[in-house]
Structure 1
Amino acid sequence: MAKEARMRLIEIEKDVKSASLALKSAFLEDPLIRAFFPDDEVYETKVHLFFEKQVEMMGALGMTYVVENSDGEVKCAALWEPAQSPVWLYFYIFKFIAFLFWNFGFATARRLSKIFFDMEAQRHKRAPNAYHLAILGTSSDFQGRGAGSKALAPMLNRADAEKIPCYLESSNPKNVPFYERHGFKIICQLYPLQQWPEYEKNNEKGPVVTLMYRQVPSSTN
């Protein structure tokens, strides 16, 4: 009998490759990600490296949970970070930015760096004491099986037990109802690429980013 899908804490050396491939598949049709990586060949051959570095960086915090299939291959990953990141994480962040410039060129790296710091500023303004769901994604061939809910469960349960709120940025409007079912509420919608020339000249806003917040559940006592 085949084993059921299993949720567990990530093992970085073992899981980084399959987790990054799962995320690449998950974000294939994500409006924001594809705005940065519109070329299909670049997406297919290089974007897994973009996710690989983030899995390594966030996984080191000990808050990343994955769901694996019956063959032990990661098909879903939820990357979290604490409200206040440890100092050593900034070393990884600067390494990640250098990686972006080296692998994706100046223009793309500059744009990615800007949106990263813009979103960080929003997070620290709106949810300074919340656990941050940085990335959640399920491989397209594994969607619809509850993997995302399984991957979220450990940190949502921990947040409830510790009475800590949660925060995320959804880059795909299709995913907002999923997060709402898990207790997140919309607090703001932003259009961070609106000033890109390709959008501005056509009077377009570009992809929307939905900021969402999950309150600490009220006591039932």
Structure 2
Amino acid sequence: MARMPMTKIPTAATIDDAPLISRTLARAFDDDPMMRWLFTGDASREAGLGRYFTTVFTRQYVHHGVCERTDAAAAFWVPPEAQAKAVPDAETIQELQNILGDRAPLFRDAVETAAQHTPQEPHWYLAVIGVDPAAQGQGHGAALLRSGLDKADAAGLPAYLESSKPSNLPFYEHFGFTVRGELRLPENGPVLWAMWREPRCPAGA
């Protein structure tokens, strides 16, 4: 039986998509420098990342963000009016600490370091975007990024993200992002590149 082709049309993600999204993102972030810094065991990384992404998706972003997926990728955006609500509550923090174990303090320090450099002006924040490596280069990530940026542009707002993977920077730059700064995470952690994109006029405006 022939395999059904994977669709790369962005659709709104629901909580029922959590298993697909967590598997996709666990694979996507397996070689991410920040995630390798937090999840150090090669054998256990995929399972740990799966639990991590399940937690942040089902407890935070699906309720307070704009979450979209294709058959092989997912993206979580947070518009400005939701950013105060999209922070983890006490139960979520406890769950993340259980997942991260002795790396939990590093995670907390990384979040606090990044938060100190978050732009104060209203913006759309790209919290997470990832593509299953088996489908990279097929346009899934571009479709999700373009969908979110269209929403930011329609609102007349800039967009912001952080990336710890230098090979991803040209991809974001292709869509109009520029590097705004470099943040070195504590305890010999990786560099985070803070990237910013000014809004563009929607087509036909």
Q: TM-score, normalised by structure 1?
A: 0.83
Q: Map of 1:103-182 to 2, 5 A cutoff?
A: 103-105=99-101, 107-123=102-118, 126-182=119-175
Equivalents in 2 of 1:103, 1:216: separation in Å?
A: 37
- The answer to whether 1:10 aligns with 2:10 is no
**Structure 1: 5+ residue runs without aligned partners?**
69-74, 200-205
TM-fit CA distance, 1:62: 4.7
- The Cα offsets for residues 66-124 of structure 1, whole Å up to 9 and x where unpaired, read as 011xxxxxx1011111224365544x44322111222332x31111112112212211x
Letter in 2 for 1:16: A
Label 1:209 to 1:89 Cα distance change in 2 as closer, same or farther (>3 A): closer
Shift of the 115–93 alpha-carbon distance from structure 1 to 2, 3 Å rule, reads: farther
- Greater radius of gyration (CA): 1
CA deviation map 1:19-68 (0-9, x unaligned): 01111111111111101111112203322000111222112125111011
Percent identity over the alignment?
27
Specify the alignment match of 2:94 in structure 1.
98
Q: Could you tell me how far 1:128 is from its partner in structure 2?
A: 3.0
Q: What residue is the counterpart of 2:39 in the other structure?
A: 37
Residue 214 of structure 1 pairs with residue 190 of structure 2 = no
The equivalent of 2:76 in structure 1 is 79
1:64 match: secondary structure = strand
SS at 2:10 equivalent:
strand
Q: Once the 2 structures are TM-superposed, how far is the Cα of residue 3 of structure 1 from its aligned partner?
A: 4.5
Counterpart of 2:178 in structure 1 is 185
- Aligned-residue CA RMSD (Å): 2.1
8 Å contact from structure 1 (residues 97, 113) kept in 2: no
Q: TM-score, normalised by structure 2?
A: 0.89
Aligned to 1:66: 69
- Aligned letter for 2:98? W
